C-alpha cells in the first residue's frame, strides 16, 4: 500500500465498478433497452407462452417496476405528484454559500457555479484564488458561532439572503485517540459538526419563511463505520449524518417547509489535499471495487442535485451504498471487510496538510473582498 497523490487521477473515467454499474444501468438494467428484448424474440418467431418470451417479458417488467418505484418514491416525496413537477431552477436568482470553498471540492463547486453566473459566497479562513468576479470571499472560521453570525449579517446586507447552502468545510487530525489533544477534538467537531449548526441557524430561517432553498451536507462513509486513527473524524461525520436526517423531518413535519430541499452526500476516499498522504492499496481488485474519487466527481454530483431540486442521499462511489448495512452483518463479515479495505492502517503515515496550496502565500487580513481583487 502506498500514498496516492491527489493530482494523479486521470481525466477520463477509469475502469472500475462504478463505470460498470453506469453502463449496465443504461443497457441491461434500462427499461428502454429491455423493452426490445421480447420484441426481438417475437420477430424471431417466438410466440406466447414460449419460455424465452415469458422470461424476457418478466425481466422487462421487473426492471421497469424497479425504476418506477424508485422514481415514484423520489418524485412523490419531493413534489407530491408523479406528473406535475416544480419549475426549473433560475440560477441567476440564486445566492450560494460554500463553506471551505477556498480549496478542494469547495473550490471546484464555487468556480463551477460562478461560470453559470451565480453569486457565490465562500466562507473560509483562507482566501480563494480565482478570476471569477461573482465569487465573494468572506474570512470566517465556521466553527465559531460569533464569526458565522457576524458574517451572515454582512452577507445579507451586501448581497441578500442566501438560497443555497453547501456545508463542505472539513478537517482531519489522523491521530490515535490518546494522542488527540483537547484542541484537536474541539477543532474536528467544531468544523465537521458544529459549523453545520451555526450556518443552518444563520441562513435556514429565511429559507423556511419562503419554503424554498437547498441545504447540501458533505459527509463521509466514515460516518457509518469506525476506522483506526479517525475516532474524532468518524464521530463528527456520524453526528452530521444524524443532524441531516433529523433536519429533514423537522422541515417536513415541524416547520412545514418541504420546499427546503436537503441533500446528504456520503463519499468515500476523495483525492484532495486533505487525504493526500493516506495509504491505499494499489492492487487492481482494490482500485476496481473501492475506487478513489476525483474531486470533480463530487462537485458534479452536488451541482446535479441542486439542478434536480430533490431531497436525497447521494452515495459515491458505488460501494458506499452498502456501507450503512455493515452494521447489520455478523462481526466476522464486518472484520473481513475492515481487513480487506485496509482502512485501519491507511492513516499510519498520515501527515496533516492544509487545504491551501503552498504557492498561495500568506492569508489576507481583509475581512471581505471580491475575488477578482483578491
Catalytic residue, candidates 137, 138, 233, 315? 233
Cis bond before residue 49 (omega within 30° of 0): yes
Taking 3-state DSSP, the helix, strand and coil percentages for the chain, each rounded to the nearest 5, stand at: 50, 15, 35
Distance (Å, whole) CA 107 – CA 299: 9
233 in active site: yes
According to the 3-state scheme, what is the secondary structure of 275-338? HCCCEECCCHHHHHHCCCECHHHHHHHHHHHHHHCCCEEEEECHHHHCHHHHHHCCHHHHHHHH
280-300 burial string, b = 16+ CB within 10 Å, else e? bbeeeebbebbbbbbbebbbe
DSSP-derived pairing of the beta strands 2-3 and 95-99 = unpaired
The residues annotated as belonging to the active site are 233
Amino acid at each position: 500500500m502506498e500514498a496516492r497523490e491527489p493530482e494523479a487521477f486521470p481525466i477520463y473515467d477509469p475502469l472500475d465498478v462504478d463505470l460498470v454499474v453506469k453502463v449496465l444501468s443504461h443497457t441491461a438494467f434500462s427499461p428502454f433497452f429491455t423493452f426490445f428484448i421480447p420484441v426481438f424474440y417475437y420477430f424471431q418467431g417466438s410466440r406466447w407462452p414460449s419460455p424465452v418470451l415469458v422470461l424476457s417479458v418478466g425481466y422487462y417488467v421487473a426492471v421497469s417496476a424497479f425504476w418506477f418505484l424508485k422514481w415514484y418514491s423520489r418524485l412523490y416525496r419531493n413534489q407530491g405528484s408523479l406528473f406535475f413537477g416544480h419549475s426549473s431552477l433560475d440560477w441567476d436568482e440564486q445566492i450560494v454559500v460554500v463553506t471551505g470553498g477556498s480549496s478542494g471540492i469547495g473550490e471546484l463547486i464555487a468556480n463551477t457555479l460562478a461560470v453559470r453566473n451565480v453569486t457565490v459566497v465562500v466562507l473560509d479562513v483562507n482566501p480563494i484564488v480565482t478570476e471569477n468576479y461573482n465569487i465573494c470571499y468572506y474570512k470566517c472560521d465556521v466553527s465559531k458561532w460569533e464569526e458565522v453570525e457576524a458574517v451572515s449579517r454582512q452577507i445579507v446586507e451586501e448581497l441578500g439572503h442566501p438560497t443555497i447552502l453547501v456545508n463542505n468545510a472539513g478537517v482531519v487530525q489522523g491521530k490515535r485517540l490518546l494522542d488527540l489533544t483537547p484542541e484537536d477534538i474541539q477543532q474536528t467537531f467544531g468544523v465537521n459538526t458544529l459549523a453545520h449548526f451555526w450556518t443552518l441557524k444563520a441562513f435556514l430561517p429565511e429559507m423556511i419563511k419562503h419554503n424554498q432553498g437547498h441545504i447540501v451536507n458533505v459527509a463521509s462513509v466514515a460516518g457509518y463505520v469506525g476506522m483506526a486513527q479517525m475516532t474524532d473524524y468518524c464521530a463528527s461525520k456520524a453526528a452530521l449524518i444524524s443532524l441531516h436526517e433529523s433536519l429533514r423531518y423537522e422541515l417536513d413535519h415541524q416547520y412545514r417547509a418541504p420546499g427546503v430541499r436537503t441533500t446528504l452526500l456520503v463519499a468515500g476516499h476523495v483525492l484532495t489535499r486533505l487525504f493526500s498522504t493516506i495509504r491505499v492499496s494499489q492492487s487492481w481488485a482494490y482500485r476496481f471495487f473501492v475506487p478513489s474519487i476525483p474531486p470533480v466527481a463530487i462537485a458534479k454530483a452536488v451541482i446535479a442535485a441542486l439542478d434536480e431540486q430533490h431531497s436525497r442521499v447521494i452515495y459515491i462511489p458505488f460501494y458506499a451504498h452498502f456501507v450503512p448495512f455493515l452494521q447489520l452483518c455478523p462481526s466476522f463479515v464486518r472484520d473481513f471487510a475492515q481487513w480487506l479495505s485496509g482502512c485501519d492502517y491507511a492513516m499510519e503515515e498520515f501527515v496533516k496538510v492544509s487545504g491551501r496550496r503552498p504557492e498561495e502565500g500568506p492569508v489576507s487580513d481583509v475581512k471581505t473582498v471580491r475575488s477578482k481583487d483578491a
